[in-house]
Amino acid sequence: MNKTKVLIFNSAIEIFSKSGYKGSTMDDIAANAGLAKGTLYYHFTSKEEIFNFIVEEGLKMLNDEAVKIKQLNESAIDKLTKICRIQLTFLYEHKDFFKVVISQLWGNEKRQDELRNRIRNYIKELEIYIKVAMEEGKIRQGDSELMSYEFFGTLCSVAIYESINIEKIDLEDIIEKTSKFILRGLGKN
């Protein structure tokens, strides 16, 4: 991503987080980024295009971290534990991005459908780890797709806890407790 797009990415997340999608304007995003409106329009034709860009780039950052775990020579349980760490750390470090994503999950507009598809793709990656853990006999057999959504949903719920209680959390403690909670829920042996 070039320097201008990084500015737009960060600015758009901040504006969408503060004002919501409907309350945000291209002018707000440009001004917050310190860019001329023409520069913004050179890169993006609409607010929806910017929204899709930040979602795509943000989820790509998270997914890229999760995919790296595939290469590790570790057990499926260790990989699932690392996924917990990656996702919770990512959501903790990118609270405004998380807020934007969560606020747009519901609805029938094109951007919301695209957002759900991108999240679905990330959850499919999680399902791979869950299936391997089942095959290794490390967790109970079950509906791997549903279990993947439960895994993801639990981590999102914890991210909400983090954002509400930001001044009193210990991220490492939360990661450890949440990993254990999720693995018990998956029926870790």
Residue 127 to residues 102, 146, 148, 175, Cα–Cα distance (Å): 21, 9, 5, 20
- Residue 74's SS3 state is coil
Domain with 18 in it: what CATH number? Answer: 1.10.10.60
pLDDT of the residue at 171: 87
Same domain, 11 and 96: no
Structure tokens that stand for 63 in this block: 């997914």
123: containing domain: 52-185
Instruction: Render each residue's pLDDT in the chain as its tens digit; 189 residues.
Output: 799 999 999 999 999 999 999 999 999 999 999 999 999 999 999 999 999 999 999 999 988 888 888 888 999 899 999 999 999 999 888 999 999 999 999 989 999 999 999 999 999 989 999 999 999 999 999 999 999 999 999 999 998 888 887 777 888 999 999 999 999 998 886
Structure tokens that stand for 59 in this block: 């989820």
Cα 155 from Cα 135, distance rounded (Å): 23
Same domain, 169 and 102: yes
Which residue carries 């549903």 as its tokens? 146
Same domain, 60 and 134: yes
Spell out the residues 6+ positions from residue 98 whose beta carbon is closer than 8 angstroms to its own.
91, 156, 159, 163
Q: Provide the domain count of the chain.
A: 2
Domain with 73 in it: what CATH number? Answer: 1.10.357.10
pLDDT of the residue at 168: 78
Cα 87 from Cα 66, distance rounded (Å): 8
Same domain, 105 and 146: yes
pLDDT of the residue at 160: 87
Spell out the residues 6+ positions from residue 68 whose beta carbon is closer than 8 angstroms to its own.
none
